[in-house]
């Protein structure tokens, strides 16, 4: 396979748009097919750690995003009842000096809009109401055909499946597979600070408790607070991956928690409910002239706040390799580089679920006490555990 000049991307989420922008800046003609009728992202917060911010800076987006960012002072882990700290690790300027990039909180809508504008300015062809039904590599030599539900078709040198955990591209590659419900659901919402009856500290905070946890952090310069409440459940009966949640049920679920949690929820007027799903590790991320990235190939639990960051890293690495190498070699190298890192972050995220939900009885409590002691007396040990995540720089490798 020769050099790539034209690429089709299925999916205009954060990973798909990051890939489109990176490729367009390298001179590749890109078409993005998005099944939605208009651009828009579900209103939720994102924690953009330094490893992701390095890519966004390289793509020329950091200054534009600065207008929307909130800079957390600490990464904190607190007890659900007492409010005691198990962990309090500095971010803000410490993140910049330690890792070479900031740690920002962004509203997903803001990041998505900036990426859309960047793609438009770079000449990316953004096609809406464009639901991909299948692809075919046999029609034209050395090209892949992509076919839409409305009959339109496109041909290019490469198809990128950035169409999420329910990826149709992955399904054609490897056959149908139902996502695995991970036994947890996430309630998400955003509250204007002007409507709060309690002060929330300017941190990225995880409140840990039995079989559930609660995350809070500020957005948009401190005008809003984002919350994520994760609860363990035995099943998920709804066919929807996301639905409007019952805010009163959520309030009851966390009613006996620390006042910073329960009082915050008393100010919430609405919430959405997600099932947390996963998939078995794929045998490969590419096949012929088709390649996957982000949740399409490595969905992960949100307990490292790295889902979006991993897709953004994927985008940069894939774009770099396919513009520097013959295509077959580029796709092999992309998978060799990205799969071990994504798999490791997946495992770290899964392990954090047990810590956040106080699993393990006495042993679980001992782990939290050990974390608390290390945070106070040996903070370098805590910091070192994050070095391989936040310190990673795909723009330099």
Contact 285, 332 (CB under 8 A): no
> Percent of the chain scored above 90 by pLDDT?
77
Residue 9 pairs with which residues in a beta bridge? 32, 160
* DSSP 8-class letter at 277: E
- 182-278 — its CATH code? 3.30.9.30
The fold for domain 6-69+103-178+279-353 equals FAD/NAD(P)-binding domain (3.50.50)
Residue 101 pairs with which residues in a beta bridge? none
Which pLDDT band holds residue 378 (cuts at 50, 70, 90)?
A: low
* Residues listed for the chain: 397
Query: Cβ of 368: how many Cβ atoms within 10 Å?
Result: 19
Smallest CA-to-CA distance from 119 within 174, 75, 201, 64 is with 64
Instruction: Say what the pLDDT of residue 377 is.
Output: 60
- Cβ-count burial of 155 within 10 angstroms (0-12 exposed, 13-18 middle, 19+ buried)? middle
d(CA 299, CA 279): 7
* pLDDT tens-digit map of 86-129: 999 899 999 999 999 999 999 999 999 999 999 999 999 999 99
In the chain, where the domains are located: 6-69+103-178+279-353, 182-278
Which pLDDT band holds residue 178 (cuts at 50, 70, 90)?
A: confident
User: What b/e sequence results for 165-203 when a residue is b if at least 16 CB atoms lie within 10 Å of its CB, and e otherwise?
Assistant: bbbbbbebbeeeeeeeebebbbbbbbbeeeebeeebbbb
Q: Which pTM value belongs to this model?
A: 0.94
Residue 230 pairs with which residues in a beta bridge? 186, 213
Which pLDDT band holds residue 366 (cuts at 50, 70, 90)?
A: confident
* pLDDT tens-digit map of 331-340: 999 999 999 9
Top-confidence residue, 142 or 364: 142
Q: Which value, to the nearest 10 degrees, does the dihedral of the CA atoms of residues 22, 23, 29, 32 take? A: -70
């Amino acid at each position: 396979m020769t050099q790539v000049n034209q690429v089709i991307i299925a999916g205009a989420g954060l990973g798909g748009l990051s890939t489109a922008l990176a490729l367009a800046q390298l001179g590749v003609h890109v078409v993005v097919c998005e099944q939605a009728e208009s651009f828009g992202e579900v209103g939720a917060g994102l924690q953009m750690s330094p490893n992701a911010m390095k890519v966004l800076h390289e793509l020329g987006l950091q200054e534009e995003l600065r207008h929307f960012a909130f800079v957390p002072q600490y990464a904190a882990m607190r007890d659900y009842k007492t409010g005691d700290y198990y962990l309090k690790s500095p971010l803000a300027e410490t993140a910049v000096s330690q890792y070479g990039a900031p740690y920002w909180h962004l509203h997903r809508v803001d990041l998505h809009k900036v990426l859309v504008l960047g793609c438009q300015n770079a000449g990316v062809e953004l096609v809406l109401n464009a639901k991909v039904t299948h692809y075919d590599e046999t029609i034209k030599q050395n090209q892949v055909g992509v076919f839409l539900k409305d009959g339109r078709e496109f041909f290019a040198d490469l198809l990128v499946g950035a169409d999420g955990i329910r990826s149709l591209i992955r399904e054609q590659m490897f056959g149908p597979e139902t996502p695995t419900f991970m036994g947890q659901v996430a309630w998400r919402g955003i509250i204007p600070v002007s409507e709060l009856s309690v002060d929330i500290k300017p941190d990225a905070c995880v409140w840990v408790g039995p079989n559930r946890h609660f995350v809070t952090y500020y957005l948009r310069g401190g005008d809003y607070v984002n919350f994520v409440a994760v609860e363990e459940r035995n099943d998920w009966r709804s066919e929807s991956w996301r639905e409007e949640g019952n805010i009163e049920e959520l309030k009851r679920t966390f009613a006996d928690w620390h006042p910073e949690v329960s009082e915050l929820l008393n100010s919430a007027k609405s919430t959405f409910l997600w099932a947390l799903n996963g998939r078995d590790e794929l045998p490969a991320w590419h096949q012929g002239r088709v390649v996957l990235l982000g949740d399409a190939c490595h969905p992960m639990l949100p307990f490292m706040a790295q889902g979006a960051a991993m897709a953004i890293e994927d985008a940069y690495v894939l774009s770099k390799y396919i513009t520097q190498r013959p295509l077959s070699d580029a796709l092999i190298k992309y998978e060799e580089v990205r799969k071990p890192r994504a798999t490791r972050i997946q495992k770290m995220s899964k392990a954090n679920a047990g810590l956040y939900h106080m699993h393990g009885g006495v042993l679980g409590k001992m782990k939290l006490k050990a974390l608390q002691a290390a945070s106070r007396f040996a903070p370098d040990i805590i910091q070192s555990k994050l070095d391989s995540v936040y310190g990673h720089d795909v723009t330099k490798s």
